[in-house]
């Protein structure tokens, strides 16, 4: 192509792509929030020109950007950060995500086992867990009296109470456990973790209405009180 025809094309290309031609080099460092730990492998994306870069092993990064461009910082298990480039070196603090630990439990299995035992009571004639409805005396008088005065009904009633407590305790253990407490409080000593968990344990009724955020909030507030007052004795539970 003759040069005289090529020059206008190059001029138009420069007008259409100013960000790639004139973009500065934005530099900075990524850190883990509330620490001096530098974060490597943080993906940095200029949302205006879609150019990406990655922070090195020291947390340093360099990317093409103009003042006013928005840079997005992403890393697995960290909250996405967005900051506007203002023409000078940027320090970015990445907030770790709070994720509830996945804990494999036997709560459902236990529930099934308890149900099977109650089924065994019923197979022996204990039809109402020891609490017969009033109409049972009309429909089957023998069963009604057996439920009130028989030997198995008393056992079934006690077992039903025990089973309810076990199922509820399993549900609490599923959501409130050592890995979760250690992650939220920062404790590494399992003895201290257990001491705190003995001091405060949410009830089954609480967890029925609490979302994960509510549980985390209550752990933090109770642990803060526990940390300040634990060595003084006379701890009183907050809530």
Give the pair of three-digit tokens for residue 204: 């089954």
- Is 70 exceeded by the pLDDT of residue 4? no
pLDDT at 217 > cutoff 60: yes
C-alpha to C-alpha distance for 17 and 7, rounded to whole angstroms: 15
Is residue 26 within 8 A of residue 39, CB to CB? The reply is no
8-46 confidence digits (pLDDT tens)? 555 555 554 444 446 688 999 999 887 788 999 999 999
| pTM over cut 0.85 | no
CB-based contacts of 38: which residues, under 8 Å, 6+ apart?
29, 30, 31, 32, 58, 59
**pLDDT tens, residue by residue, 58-80:** 999 999 999 999 999 999 989 99
Radius of gyration of the chain from its Cα atoms, rounded to whole angstroms: 32
- Residue 77's SS3 state is coil
Q: What are φ and ψ of residue 75, in 5° steps?
A: -160, 140
Helix (H), strand (E) counts: the chain = 10, 7
């Amino acid at each position: 192509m003759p040069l005289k025809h090529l020059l206008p094309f190059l001029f138009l290309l420069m007008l259409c792509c100013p960000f790639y031609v004139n973009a500065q080099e934005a530099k900075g460092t990524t850190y883990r929030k509330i620490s001096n730990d530098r974060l490597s492998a943080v993906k940095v994306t200029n949302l205006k020109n879609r150019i990406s870069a990655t922070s090195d092993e020291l947390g340093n990064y360099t990317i093409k950007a103009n003042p006013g461009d928005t840079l997005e910082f992403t890393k697995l298990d960290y909250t996405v950060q967005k900051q506007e480039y203002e023409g000078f070196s940027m320090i970015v603090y990445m907030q770790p995500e709070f994720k509830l630990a996945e804990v494999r439990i036997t709560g459902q299995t236990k529930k099934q086992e308890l149900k099977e035992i109650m089924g065994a009571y019923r197979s022996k004639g204990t039809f109402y867990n020891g609490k017969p409805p009033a109409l049972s005396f009309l429909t089957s008088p023998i069963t009604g009296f057996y439920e009130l005065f028989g030997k198995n009904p008393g056992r079934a009633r006690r077992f039903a109470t025990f089973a309810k407590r076990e199922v509820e305790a399993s549900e609490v253990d599923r959501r409130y456990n050592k890995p979760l407490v250690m992650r939220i409080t920062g404790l590494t000593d399992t003895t201290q973790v257990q001491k705190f968990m003995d001091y405060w344990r949410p009830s089954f009724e609480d967890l029925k209405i609490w979302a994960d955020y509510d549980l985390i909030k209550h752990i933090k507030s109770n642990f803060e009180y526990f940390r300040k007052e634990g060595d003084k004795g006379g701890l009183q539970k907050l809530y």
